[in-house]
Amino acid sequence: AHIVFLVSKDPLNYEADKTIPLFADMLNKGYGFKVTVLLSEGKHGNARFKGIDAIKDADLLVVFCRRLALPFEQMDKIKAYLRSGKPLIGLRTANHGFSVWDEVTDGYEGWWGFVPDILGCENRGYEPEELGTVVEVIPESATNPILKGVDATDWKSKGQVYKVNQLVDSKTTTLLRGHPRGVEATQPIAWTRLTAHKSRVFYTSLGYPDDFKVEPYRKLLINAIHWALEMEIK
């Protein structure tokens, strides 16, 4: 299977341009996936992905980019991929992946609908960074295959909690919730859903640089990739 990652090289994108190539290498060597990592070029209002045609033969698209406007024809390729019902995984900043505040250059466009229509949520800000995230499994989802072998005991992320309550799609299956240290109220931090075109979607707001160093996070992503591709989770 061929996995394509869209990653923005952006000082506020949690070093995804460093963590994702390493993770992709592990997916290739450890699991035999063909992996293409595309790094964005340009600014928020006029970004582009060189080699985006790789999406055409992708079996899975993974989005870890923030606030990018793309050329019309590039955004069309992403939308066509999703219209075909192929799966998508969104990581952390994908919840404002194409939500552009900057002035958009002529011939480029953002896609605010990506977050509610594809990920099934809204971006409602975030909790204080210094409080991190205490990760908990949703009890009803404990037997979900994506959580197989994911040990959430004492799992704490240095990344702050993204606020998404309530999810736009009431049919989502929430797998993990998180709360800042010392705060009781939780937010969904990992879930799955189906889009209107029947794409399997997995999103997690985890994805801080240090998250990639811990076994439960890596296992969560590997399981989610297998689920998205309708492959057996071992």
Average pLDDT over residues 22-45: 98
Domain housing 44: 2-122+191-228
Per-residue pLDDT tens digits for 58-98: 999 999 999 999 999 999 999 999 999 999 999 999 999 99
Is residue 49 in some structural domain? yes
Is residue 149 in some structural domain? no
Is residue 139 in some structural domain? no
How distant, in Å, are the alpha carbons of 28, 69, 78, 117 from that of 96?
28, 11, 15, 12
Q: For strand 60-64 and strand 2-7, is the pairing parallel, antiparallel, or unpaired?
A: parallel
Average pLDDT over residues 117-146: 97
Q: How far is residue 19 CA from its own chain's centroid?
A: 13
Predicted model pTM: 0.98
Looking at residue 81, its pLDDT comes to 99
Looking at residue 209, its pLDDT comes to 98
Q: Which CATH number covers residue 8? A: 3.40.50.2300
Average pLDDT over residues 190-204: 99
For 129, list phi and psi in degrees, rounded to 5.
-60, -40
Sign of CA dihedral 213, 18, 230, 156: positive
Report residue 110's pLDDT band, with 50, 70 and 90 as the boundaries. very high
Pair 93, 13: CB distance under 8 Å = yes
